[in-house]
Structure 1
Amino acid sequence: MSAVAEHGAGVTLTGISKKFGDVTAVHPLDLTVPRGSFFALLGASGCGKTTTLRMIAGLEQPTSGTVRLGDDDVTALPPHRRKVNTVFQSYALFPHLDVHDNVAFGLRRRGIRSVTKDVQRTLELVELGHLARRRPHQLSGGQQQRVALARAVVNRPEVLLLDEPLGALDLKLRRQMQLELKRIQTEVGITFVHVTHDQEEAMTMADTIAVMNAGRVEQLGTPVELYEDPASSFVANFLGQSNLIETEIADTAGADLLLSAAGDVRLALPAARCRARSTAAGTRVLAGMRPEKISLAHRDAAADGSVADGRNRIPGTVVDASFTGAATQYVVASPVCPELSVFVQNVERDPRLVPGAEVVLHWNPAHTFGLDGDQDIDAGTGEDAL
């Protein structure tokens, strides 16, 4: 049973779109966010993710379509009448109020007089109970972010909207807060809809991710589904890193498609993992594999039979090797692609794998995915990935 069927919908967008004059920021889309889930809208700047979030919040009026929170159609309701709260990248804390009163502000504005217990419980949730009487300027960036989160959560909205809330934090603190946000969401059980351009952030926290591109949802799924089985070259390149090779279907062998590539390279691709428009011979396919799925063997080792039969193989030459601590990132020139990326864990490093070394890249064919060959092989890279 799906999460939506079991728990109901927290947010339902039906045919929602937004135009600003002649510019279409969001093309008509349908999205259902399961109640109580952590949902991420992921994409580059200008893809429409923040506009979609603002339509949920009521800060932008849709050009078409409807917004439902639970069972209620809120499309025509102003922001203050929607059971949502929003946390922005700029925390907008009141500098003249201490932490306790910042968190209590929304409750008091709603006419609730006895707020101390709710405020203290929420501050404990974000692990700031001991700082209740400090002013915002006395807090670190991470602590201010937690205050902003507590101020939103204390109102117990049906949906909490997060618009790049970690963007102002440094890398180490951002990663720590990713885990904290997920913990808090799990504990309070509120539906979170999180907008981000950071792929790692989305994959760390979200139950479901909608990858957006040019105002459309490119693919929707769990982090594992999107990473292991991307539906397009944009998703393959934008979510993590992929090697994409231009090939065409030459034949079949059982459950596999046999692909031919430049340099007389032959590759096997599970037919079930091919998203090309056809599996007929001659069909163009972008064969993809993630860098960490590939093993690297020196040419001499490969000649000695260290590479098992049945694996996909590509010959190449190492052009760059970067030590990153846990792994070494190699760039390999080959007949099928001028730059193939390979990530190798630093467990038993072969000292011969240096720039200029002749090598064989090899991997399990089951780790290959196939995309329609008519797509832009570079979609999701460069400016698209910012």
Structure 2
Amino acid sequence: MVVEEPSGALRLVGLSKRFGDVTAVDRLDLTVPAGSYFALLGPSGCGKTTTLRMVAGLTEPTGGRILLGDGDITRLRPYRRPVNTVFQSYALFPHLDVFENVAFGLRRRRVRDVAGQVRRMLSLVQLDGYERHRPEQLSGGQQQRVALARALVNRPRVLLLDEPLGALDLALRRRMQGELRRLRAEVGGTFVHVTHDQEEAMTLADTVAVMNAGQVEQLGTPAELYEFPATAFVATFLGRSNLLTGTVTARAGDDLLVEAYGRRFSVPSARARVDSGAALLGVRPEKVRLAGTPEQVPAGHQWLDGTVGDIGYLGVGTEYSVPTGAGVELSVFAAADGEAARIPVGTPVVAHWHPRHAFLLDGGDRSAPDAGTSDRPAPVPAGRE
């Protein structure tokens, strides 16, 4: 199938949705570049699915506009919008076979060569020979492919994916992530993917918008969001972070000096979201190392001493919980290299990191869990599979 050129960005301008006294989406301004794979990431209740349903025409906005290219589609009926939606539940017609499920939209539009288009799409999603199967005869992954084929055969300018892999087990979810990347490369168009799964968003998307309380907390590439979060919420929702409560006391060259727990730390000013007053010094668990004594800490590293309090074996590595003498508990992720022995519970250790791996957030931002570490599991540090 020939990849089609993208035709106009999707823009949300002051988009809002209220349900009685509850504001689900709050004056949202967002641009989804044409031809991108875009993820809306956030916890349950943050407004991401409501946003997608407004774009699809399934929920009417309370205010604002939805623009696609040069056209305003805010008030268009769903079937008149050049978008299609794939739901977590697949929403296949149980009384129709695979062929007729995929052909449904084409027949409604009285498109010619229905058979040819359906067969080409089934070949694209690797379901040749399944034309006469009913949905109940298919596995979850196969049903998801039928749902994708039914949406893509209509050649939408925007494909909306609402938690499309949420009903699949972990192994199948990862295989389907690869299928989505392949389909995106082959058919083109704009994909907007709603998910609460951080790994899924980071693996699939070119751009991620992290949503919280009906608004976007931060927008950027997966690497930008992970390496330099803008808020405490992003730092703890997208992966895991150690957050140390402190105060910016001075500037030394290109660094900011931070007093925290009776110690002085530094953070490059280029990695700071605040340059004075209350601050949260953040460092990701995989950027922290453990040593036996302060003398073993490399020159230039900063550190806190403590004791191994808990151990979690994750296969790809080991996660240590380290209560420190400063009264804050650090999380440390040590990748499995086949060489280092696991450190027993109760062992005195020194947790250390290089300042270039730290970041500094506004200390008045209480959108995250209590300073220290988030309660979310650390993602496996990996690139795209």
Q: TM-score, normalised by structure 1?
A: 0.91
Q: Which has the higher helix share?
A: 1
Structure 1 residue 137 displacement after superposition:
1.4
Picking from 332, 354, 374, the partner of 2:322 is 332
Partner of 1:268: 266
Whether the 8 Å contact between 2:38 and 2:207 is mirrored in structure 1 is yes
Instruction: Name segments (4+ residues, structure 1) moved above 4 Å.
Output: 379-383
Corresponding residue of 1:319? 309
- The offset of 1:155, in angstroms, is 0.3
Does the 8 Å CA contact 2:6/2:189 hold for their aligned counterparts? no
Structure-1 residue corresponding to 2:334: 344
Q: Is the 8 A contact 1:9 1:32 kept in 2?
A: no
Q: Which amino acid aligns with 2:79?
A: H
Equivalent residues in 2 for 1:230-249, closer than 5 Å: 230-249=229-248
Q: Relative to structure 1, is the Cα distance of residues 26 and 201 closer, same or farther in structure 2, using a 3 angstrom cutoff?
A: same
Q: Does 1:373 align with 2:363?
A: yes
Matched, 1:60 2:59: yes
Note the C-alpha offset of 1:10.
Answer: 2.7
Matched residues in 1 for 2:113 and 2:327: separation? Answer: 66
Alignment correspondent of 1:211:
210
Q: How does 1:281-320 map to 2 (within 5 A)?
A: 283-299=277-293, 302-303=294-295, 306-320=296-310
CA distance in 1, matches of 2:342, 2:127: 52
> Where does 1:43-192 land on structure 2 (aligned, <5 Å)?
43-192=42-191
Q: 1:286 to 1:148 in 2, by over 3 A?
A: same
What corresponds to 1:359 in structure 2?
349
Q: What is the one-letter code of the residue matched to 2:363? A: G
SS at match of 1:96: coil
> Identity, % of aligned pairs?
60
- CA pair 129-7 structure 1, distance change in 2 beyond 3 A: closer
Stretches of structure 2 lacking an aligned partner (at least 5 in a row) = 379-385
Could you tell me how far apart the structure 2 residues matched to 1:288 and 1:382 are? 15
Q: Secondary structure at the match of 2:185?
A: helix
Opposite residue 269 of structure 2, the aligned amino acid is A
Q: TM-score, normalised by structure 2?
A: 0.92
Q: Write the distance in 2 (CA, Å) between the matches of 1:7 and 1:104.
A: 24
Q: Structure 1 pair 254/239, CA: closer, same or farther in 2 (3 Å)?
A: same
Please state how far the C-alpha of 1:64 moved relative to its aligned partner.
1.1
Equivalent residue, structure 2, for 1:3? none
CA distances 1:197-223 after superposition (whole Å, capped 9, x unpaired): 111111111111111111111111111
Separation in structure 1 between the aligned mates of residue 112 and residue 340 of structure 2, nearest angstrom: 68
| Residues 144/308 of structure 1: CA separation in 2 closer, same or farther (3 Å cut) | same
The alignment partner of 1:137 has SS state of: helix
Query: What one-letter code is carried by the residue in structure 1 that aligns with 2:311?
Result: A
Residues in 1 aligned to 2:272 and 2:347: alpha-carbon distance in whole angstroms: 33
Q: Tell whether the 8 Å contact from 2:122 to 2:149 is kept in structure 1 after alignment.
A: yes
Q: Give 1:228's aligned amino acid.
A: E
Query: Residue 222 and residue 17 in structure 1: after superposition, are their counterparts in 2 closer, same or farther (change >3 A)?
Result: same
Q: Please list the CA deviations of residues 213-264 of structure 1 after superposition, one character each: whole Å capped at 9, or x if unmatched.
A: 11111111111111011110000000000000011123322211121211x3
Alpha-carbon contact 1:245-1:336 (below 8 Å) kept: no
Matching of residues 2-81 of structure 1 within 5 Å? 9-81=8-80
Report how far residue 346 of structure 1 moved: 1.9
User: Residue deviations 1:47-93, cap 9 Å, x none?
Assistant: 11111111111111111111111211111111111011111111121
Distance 2:318 2:20 in 1: 49
Partners of 1:222 and 1:336 lie apart in 2 by 35
Moved more, 127-136 or 51-60: 127-136
Aligned length: 370
Q: Name the CA distance, whole Å, in 2 between partners of 1:293 and 1:95.
A: 50
The CA distance in 2 between the partners of 1:240 and 1:27, in whole Å, is: 25
Q: Per-residue deviation at 1:181?
A: 0.9
Aligned-pair RMSD on alpha carbons?
1.9
Helix, strand or coil: the match of 1:130?
Answer: coil
Q: CA deviation at 1:381?
A: 5.2
AA at the equivalent of 1:161: L
CA distance in 2, matches of 1:60, 1:341: 42
177-186 or 364-373, larger mean C-alpha shift? 177-186
Q: Which sections of structure 1, spanning at least 5 residues, go unmatched?
A: 1-5
